Chain A
Amino acid sequence: MLQLRSVGMQFGAVEALHSVDLDLAPGEVVGLMGDNGAGKSTLLKIVAGNFAPTSGEVRLDQRAVELTPLSAREHGIEAVYQDLALCDNLSAAANVFLGRELSRRLLGVLPVLDHAAMRRRSAELFDELGSDTRPDDLVRRMSGGQRQAVAIARARLSSPRLMLLDEPTAAISVRQIAEVLELIRGLRERGVCVLLISHRMSDVFAVADRVVVLRRGRKVADKATTDSSPEEVTALITGAIEAA
């Protein structure tokens, strides 16, 4: 479905990614691991269309594409960011629909925001996630888990085929981690591909089919989780093992 071909990213003198190849297939959960600054977030932002790679190409369905945040979404790619990228001053429903608000036509002509429909749809999404988040609550007043639910609900809005999750289990409770992992399994069952960035080895080995390790911008491993172990991945991340 999505392929990266020798993708590189240069920020001035800093090379954040060096010739990375990656293949993602429908219904597959891929854990992306690496130390801070290894290039995980850069890779995610390239796939999400926030950065254009300085070399190499991104291919979708066998065709080279130049992604923007909008076109990535149109291709069915949704990202949930580490900082959750929410607007604290807006309600949960407003955040879920940010950038693709539902409108109705007043008197058949004047487009106005359809608050009721957005509230209803967000409530459904929160329900499906098993979250107690209420659509009208301001994000400013929410717990970490509720914020996560808002971010994931936003990403699920368009029934994406590829979801990018950046540290979805950071800063939430153990019970909520289990819920998020359950959600990831649910996505896989529906044929959605999930690229999961995480520091938590246990999460990756709990849900991922495959683990990809980045070190200093280079891909040093790409193998089935059943063929690997947390110990091996740790060694790959730190550089104790060169590559696998």
Chain B
Amino acid sequence: MKSLRRTPQSLWVMLTVAALAGVMSLVSAPFASADNIFNISRNFAFIGLVALGQTAVIATGGIDLSVGSVMGLSGIVTGLVLGSGQPLVLAAAAGLGCAFLCGLTNGALVGYLRLSPFVVTLGMLSVARSLALVVSNNKMIHDFGPDERVVLALGGGRFLGLANPVWLLLVAALCAAAWFRYSRLARHVLAVGGNENSTRLAGVPVARVKLTVYVLSSLLAGVSAILMIGWLGAVTNALGQGYELRVIASAVIGGANLMGGEGGAFGAVAGAALIELIRNSLLLLGVDPYWQGAFVGGSIIVAMLVERVRRGSRTAG
């Protein structure tokens, strides 16, 4: 089932990215520098990774507002366990374990108790952020114990000229693309988003499908957080604050339909790239950073307007 309609959206976004990059390299000398490109790609890798999970959630017709806070909690817990002298494997397991529990809670409430995804994950946004404050006691953690160098290299290092998180994003995006096309679960994800009731009638375990995407979304947030603390070299409980907006914007700009039933891996990555590019361009053009929120928020609304126009012309045609 090669969807010809999903391809154009991510393609359009990629073309927009290319066009914007072209214009920027003409008007701003530092833009095309290796350092800046490296920075942009690394910055959107953290967001893109989480946007992959978000895309799966949105494809079921849901939304996960808690990803930013889950990043904060996972990052703090990983940092604390590292700081207490434990090896990275254990710390990462603890951080991902917290993410897993957050996702499990979201997914169980949305899937099995059929609560509104918006409200459940909005609640989790607050709960996870608060837990991050509680366990960190509002302190910055910058001592990562004996495995510090490994952590810093993992998130902050580079390989063949690309930042490690970018490599991970590439691999994850390819896996996600294959998953969307070839896995039974992903087919069910799209089916749930298309017509939940008929999918249930067809014998698909709808609640379990939903549970799985929320867990995936949280786990990817956890992975992203662990990479991010390695890049930052420290973690505060503000890690990931406000990221839910950028993550959701990436998914939506990339073609995930908030009504459910549509979404793809490359779209999410392209969307994340576009948002980071816009942010970076604004900085280089000397626009007051206070304006960034307006542009990121505005881009979600524009993406939805474009989607409306596309949909309108489709039904007319």
Partner-B contacts on A (CB < 8 A): 48, 50, 69-70, 73, 79, 81, 83-91, 93-94, 98-101, 103, 106, 111-113, 115, 136, 138, 154
Contacts and interface: CB of A to CB of B under 8 A. Distances in A.
A69 B200 CA distance: 9
5 contacts: A86-B195, A98-B191, A99-B199, A99-B203, A136-B1
B194 interface: yes
Q: Which 5 A-B pairs have the closest CB atoms?
A: A85-B198, A87-B194, A89-B261, A99-B202, A89-B194
B201 A94 contact: no
A69 to B, nearest CB: 5
A81 B190 CA distance: 20
A87 B184 contact: no
A154 B199 CA distance: 13
B35 to A, nearest CB: 40
A69 B194 contact: no
A193 to B, nearest CB: 20
Interface footprint category on B: 20 to 34
Contacts of A138: 3, 5
A127 B56 CA distance: 35
B196 to A, nearest CB: 9
Contacts of A70: 203
B195 A87 contact: yes
Given A69-B203, A90-B194, 11 more contacts: A69-B200, A69-B201, A87-B198, A89-B190, A90-B191, A94-B187, A98-B199, A99-B199, A99-B204, A112-B182, A138-B5
Nearest to B59: A89
A2 B73 CA distance: 55
A81 B1 contact: no
B64 interface: no
A113 B195 contact: no
B183 interface: yes
Contacts of A50: 201
Contacts, number: 77
Q: State the majority secondary structure of interface residues on B.
A: helix
Interface of B: 1-3, 5, 181-184, 187-188, 190-191, 193-195, 197-204, 261-262
A85 B203 contact: no
Contact of A113 (B184, B204, B261): B184
Contacts of A88: 194-195, 261
A89 B1 CA distance: 11
Contacts of B188: 99
Contacts of B183: 112-113
Contacts of A87: 190-191, 194-195, 198-199, 261
Contacts of A84: 198
A119 to B, nearest CB: 8
Nearest to A119: B1
Contacts of A113: 181-184, 187
Contact of B204 (A48, A89, A98, A136): A98
A105 to B, nearest CB: 12
A85 B204 CA distance: 13
Contacts of A98: 187, 191, 198-199, 202, 204
A93 B199 contact: no
A227 B301 CA distance: 65
B184 A81 contact: no
B1 A94 contact: yes
Given A112-B182, A112-B183, A73 B191 contact: no
Nearest to B196: A87
Given A99-B203, A115-B1, A89 B262 contact: yes
A85 B182 contact: no
Most buried by A among B3, B194, B262: B194
A154 B198 CA distance: 12
Contacts of A154: 202
Contact of B1 (A69, A90, A99): A90
Contacts of B204: 98-99
